[in-house]
Chains A and B, each alone.
Chain A
């Protein structure tokens, strides 16, 4: 059920997910939209994360995006909170895989610093103009980005389960 957007973020596609307000700015207008939302009393950035939609099933019924939003592999999801109005809004931005970068929100919300580093660490999305974009959870010499869907989960061989003998580490 579409919901009319607030005038401050007028040109941004808005929608409603399970009763929660969601806006879908384009990557180019992301920073400006966030600035507008911050001015519109959404002064706290509660959460910033990303989703890798690489293996998401396609077809009707799955991954509903409002009209005008082109689906890309990555999606950066930002949850904002307005303490004054006791409201929340979620911002979802599409980020393509061949050019995985997006503006950093550090200048608007300094609290995004660690969260953007985590998303960089886990998904390899580069936040432009982030003051200290380094790995935060993984070791700094780690190869690859673990929460990407094409990153293998890995497992420890378990005795008596299928291919245990084949996967056993030789001494």
Chain B
């Protein structure tokens, strides 16, 4: 369908439907989306590839909807698959079932309330969402250099623990999708240990709204160091168990090795980030590539794969848990004392004790929580490395207390584009392994 057709259809109130179009009307250009454009092929070459089945008559192939209720699609992801027997010829992810207009909602929430909104996007790594939102707001406010050291290190501690909990959840669901059901229980069990620590620190297991513009919401509770050390002792032997259960096991390797292969060139062209990109051998991790917080002062390895298949993505995540443990050890050693939020009256509410004795503090507190603080006009894009890839926050401010426009660059939303490419020509049983290896969180895909 050409652009003029689309324009005419909009005016007529009859927009084109999203879906797989029949093979008969498929143009080479549309096919390029899946095969050609990534490799920069000519249209003629792509058209040749379009004849994948020898007999393209319609009754030889069938279109099946996988999802949105399929359990292995990690939420409400729907895949339209064109199958010939068990072979996937074409695939199109259809999303939007969880769309709740969070970016529109964000325009009516103050910068103070915004954290409650963004934390619900990628609900498996909420602290990273809050972190990127806070960093973007602080950059607009011009206070990014004044955040107290303790707050910065606390942010790193929580961010790394969140990476661990998110990857542990991936190991659980990846195991479940491939039939290693006991892995599901183990993965959730370990993740729960990390969430228990979050609950102690922030009061909630998920959706914390703990990292806020200006610092963090509260100081670490008494005994936090022992809790973290207990976690760091508990998890490494469990990871060794996973190695026995999965990594070295022939069935596991057969299911993942050589499945869902993507090359480095293709991953870059499709804007893939995180383990999907690193699996192809490109050592691009924002913690190393464009360090934020104090990651440049810490020692850790960026884990890369070499084949770009589902097994690489699995082992990258497994080993990133180990790297996060290494990082948390260093963070524990260097955790400084001091304030946990910036002492800037514009952004930080007065301490609770002051409210009892000072009328001004009470008014100040009230104004901050009802009206919020004003953020200078401008626009900014900040990106950090979330467990799924680059999570970015673009804020355009008009100088008021609410963002004029808030856009979150969600890594899952972009990484899902790799699915048609990875699945093409594979088996439908591998489709489950491939979806799982991308580790999408539909909350952030749809926002």
Contacts and interface: CB of A to CB of B under 8 A. Distances in A.
Contacts, number: 147
Contacts of B377: 61-64
B140 interface: yes
B399 interface: yes
Interface string B370-401: 00000001111101000000101010101100
B33 A143 contact: no
Given A52-B405, A132-B30, A17 B383 contact: no
Contacts of A122: 103
A17 B6 contact: no
A109 B271 contact: yes
Contacts of A35: none
Contact of A137 (B390, B399, B446): B446
Nearest to B3: A128
A159 B446 CA distance: 29
B103 A147 contact: yes
B108 interface: yes
Interface in A106-130: 106-107, 109-115, 118, 122, 124, 126-130
B257 interface: no
Contacts of A52: 405
Contacts of B390: 46
A111 B140 contact: no
Given A57-B399, A135-B18, A136-B95, A83 B289 contact: yes
Nearest to A52: B405
B268 interface: yes
Interface in B247-292: 268-273, 282, 284, 289-290
B3 A130 contact: yes
Contact of A46 (B378, B392, B446): B392
Interface residues of A, number: 56
A131 B18 contact: no
B289 A56 contact: no
A98 interface: no
A107 to B, nearest CB: 7
B3 A133 contact: yes
A110 B269 CA distance: 6
B407 A49 contact: yes
Nearest to B5: A133
Interface stretch (B110-118, B346-354, B409-417): B409-417
A133 B268 contact: no
A62 B376 CA distance: 9
Nearest to A57: B398
B108 to A, nearest CB: 6
Contacts of B414: 111, 114-115
B221 interface: no
B18 A47 contact: no
A126 B380 contact: no
Interface in B8-55: 10, 13, 15-18, 29-30, 32-33, 37-38
A140 B15 contact: yes
Interface string A18-58: 10100000000000000000000001111101011000110
A91 to B, nearest CB: 11
The interface residues of chain A, by DSSP majority, are classed as: loop
A71 interface: no
B16 A134 contact: yes
A145 B290 CA distance: 35
Nearest to A112: B271
Contacts of B99: 137-138
Given A17-B379, A17-B380, A146 B104 contact: yes
A138 B96 contact: yes
Contacts of A132: 18, 30, 33
Contacts of A64: 377-378
B404 interface: yes
Contact of B396 (A20, A51, A110): A51
Contacts of A138: 96, 99
Contact of B269 (A17, A77, A90, A109): A109
B285 to A, nearest CB: 11
A44 B290 CA distance: 15
A171 interface: no
Nearest to A124: B10
Contact of A18 (B140, B290, B404, B446): B140
A61 B399 contact: yes
Interface of A: 17-18, 20, 43-47, 49, 51-52, 56-57, 61-64, 77, 79, 83, 86, 88, 90, 101, 106-107, 109-115, 118, 122, 124, 126-141, 143, 146-147, 153
- Which 4 A-B residue pairings sit nearest by Cβ, starting from the closest? A111-B271, A47-B409, A137-B96, A110-B37
22 contacts: A17-B378, A18-B139, A46-B383, A46-B390, A49-B409, A56-B404, A57-B398, A63-B398, A83-B289, A86-B289, A101-B3, A110-B269, A113-B417, A114-B417, A118-B413, A126-B3, A128-B3, A131-B32, A132-B18, A135-B15, A136-B95, A143-B13
